[in-house]
Structure 1
Amino acid sequence: RGHALMASDIRLACHLVELAVQAEPQNRAAHEIRAEVYQTRRDQESSLMSKGIFGSAANESRAALDELDA
């Protein structure tokens, strides 16, 4: 659901994917979607601080994916 909301309501998509990752931290699909959603939100922001926060969230999920692959 979070992935489907990216185009219409990126904020809600972020909330939903965050809940999914918190509920299942080892879920690969949730981390893949979280990285994509937060990277998209980062790319849409104009504030440097927001870019940093959302980019960091995307990077956290990318790191989690690397750990799951190891």
Structure 2
Amino acid sequence: MKLFATLTPNFVIRITNNDRLRELLDKETSTLDLIRQAYIGARYLPYDYSKNSVIATLRLVRVILNELGLL
């Protein structure tokens, strides 16, 4: 079983084993598509707040901003 991380609108990572989400993430996507998919997925998942998820989210946001040339 694979676990996948999604980014919620409140910048919190949620770990899930949702098969539909796995299909979306397995496809080659642009950074903006990944952000859109994470937002849509987060709308239907419960929120999970923890120190580790916040740290992981900050790292992910840095990578995304760097790819977009905003950092």
- Shorter-chain TM-score bucket reads 0.3 to 0.5
Using the size of structure 1 for normalisation, the TM-score is 0.40
Bigger strand share: 2
Bigger helix share: 1
Using the size of structure 2 for normalisation, the TM-score is 0.40
Which one scores higher on RCO, CA 8 angstroms, separation ≥ 6? 2
